[in-house]
Amino acid sequence: MVKQQDLIGTWKIDPTSSDAYGNVNMTFDEDGGLKYSVHENGKEQIMLLRYFVDGDFLVTDQPSSPRRERTKITIDGQKMTLDYEGKISSYTRVD
């Protein structure tokens, strides 16, 4: 089971992972804040989310458009894997 403190820090999408989400970084803070950054065409699009862990699920919510999303999460060392409705993406810890 993943704990919130396991997430704290920045994670970058693994280049061998599915490119369904593009070049993504996620930065989790200890207060439940998540900065989701997509880097594309020399630009950065940022979404500021709230998050918490519920068992084996990462639950996120975007305050500007409230709706909770549940994503299955596993962490193995410096690798995080997310399974959102069958779309699997992998991330490596940056810091």
pLDDT per residue as tens digits for the range 20-64: 677 899 999 999 999 999 988 889 999 999 999 999 999 999 988
User: What's the rounded Cα separation, in Å, for the pair 75 and 77?
Assistant: 6
Token pair recorded at residue 68: 């909770």
Task: Give the number of C-alpha atoms closer than 13 A to the C-alpha of residue 83, restricted to the C-beta side.
Answer: 7
- What per-residue confidence (pLDDT) applies to 29? 98
Amino acid identity of residue 89, one-letter, is S
The answer on pLDDT for 18 being more than 90 is: no
> Which residue segments constitute the domains of the chain, with CATH numbers given?
4-93 (2.40.128.280)
Q: How confident is the model at residue 19 (pLDDT cuts 50, 70, 90)?
A: low
Fill in the DSSP letter of residue 20.
G
Max CA pair span of the chain: 37
Please give the helix or strand (H or E) that residue 67 lies within, else none. none
